[in-house]
Structure 1
């Protein structure tokens, strides 16, 4: 089977190696298959150990689990982190989350503990960011939460109806755009540390336009996540890889939520 996602292609190859090592492959209609040869004992064939393959339900359950962990951690961070330490917690959690995210993204093995750790760290980030914006603009957090999940469900419906398709060209284009945006955001952050204002984050029309672009790209990134889930199920990846798929959805949700907070703040006006 072929997929446009190189990471999933590698995972699919890993799954094939597992099956070749003695795991039962998935047959037609989801029934377990059997290798042509396997060990015998006392003259009778011994069935190889079966590997549960990932399903859509697995991804949904794990995504909800990660969201629950993130929500509890965010609430704890909101309640426990003093206002004067919000900035330090915000930057620290963002840096640690970035490192963990890169490790998970480029690793070939699914590591549930690492994914859960990422959710905890990002919970601190989300809690600190949310507390900061809510202290400035009452009600903005609820607006951002509603907007985030509204966009998520809209994209899910559009993907299910095949209005938006994750074609190879779309996937390559999205990866290029996201990499470019990440570079711009990182450069802008570094320049801001030296007091240089690029106008991308100051509430100006340019900043509003930049945030709108990020919101659109973050929304479209759900299509990549949905395609990842679809391909993972089709490739018959082991069940543990549903953690990786859930991680991809969580990353897009966090990215969209934080950017919506920023965009909404531009329209709040001064208190």
Structure 2
């Protein structure tokens, strides 16, 4: 079994007919992790925002630290869970905590630069998730092999672009010309990334259903919930970038 989530790239499952996973169990765990991440993110956002007016530099510095630690920590735990699926149960809640810190920090930074952007991005993420779920349930969008191949290829290409951008930023203090700027090309790329992030939800829904149908072990519910939360976070950040570029 393989997840098509941008973070989870290799997952092996083995049948466990004594205690197999269920779709309901994966959904419940996904909701729980999402709530934990949201609560931590909101709490961290409020904590930083309380000192934003009196000490903006300190608040933004704390937000940057939270975003950096949360982003790196969440990424590392997701990788460990990918290559050691049996550890997903242990790592799921810490992963949600890291993602919460990441979301809270990034949201505070965007709120400072573009007031109201986090709320707009949150609404866009919620509405898009409902639409994707409805399209999947109605079988209007099907996770065919061709669909999976296209979305996975686009996801990998996006990851490579961001890796190149990161290397250029750290090594040379520069950036890939045009595509990360507030112009039509940059906005167009941001919209494309948001679309691919949203389509990854279809792959995650399909992963949950297929894993349950094949009798994946109960612990795989936690791995599915990590994959789904990762996609939701990616969607939220993608919508934030669009709003920031449009309003810049």
TM-score relative to the length of structure 2: 0.86
Q: 1:218 to 1:99 in 2, by over 3 A?
A: same
Larger helix share, 1 or 2:
2
SS of 1:239's equivalent in the other structure is coil
What's the offset of the Cα at 1:4? 7.4
Deviation per CA, 1:235-263, whole angstroms, max 9, x where unpaired?
A: 12222211111111101100000110110
The corresponding residue for 1:47 is: none
SS of 2:219's equivalent in the other structure is helix
Counterpart Cα distance in 2 of 1:79 and 1:257: 18
- The counterpart of 1:260, out of the listed 206, 222, 239, is 239
The answer to whether the 8 A contact 2:65-2:105 is kept is no
Q: 1:171 to 1:110 in 2, by over 3 A?
A: farther
Structure number with larger C-alpha Rg: 1
The corresponding residue for 1:99 is: 76
Question: How many residue pairs are counted as aligned between the two chains?
Answer: 231
The answer to whether the 8 A contact 1:4-1:171 is kept is no
Counterpart Cα distance in 2 of 1:234 and 1:216: 28
1:65 and 2:32 equivalent? yes
What's the offset of the Cα at 1:116? 1.2
Higher relative CO (Cα under 8 Å, sequence separation at least 6) belongs to 2
Q: 1:108 to 1:85 in 2, by over 3 A?
A: closer
Q: 1:122 to 1:149 in 2, by over 3 A?
A: same
- For structure 1, the residue ranges without an aligned partner over 5 or more in a row are 19-24, 26-49
- The counterpart of 1:235, out of the listed 211, 214, 217, is 214
Q: 1:121 to 1:186 in 2, by over 3 A?
A: same
SS of 1:109's equivalent in the other structure is helix
- For structure 2, the residue ranges without an aligned partner over 5 or more in a row are 4-8, 49-58
Counterpart Cα distance in 1 of 2:198 and 2:147: 14
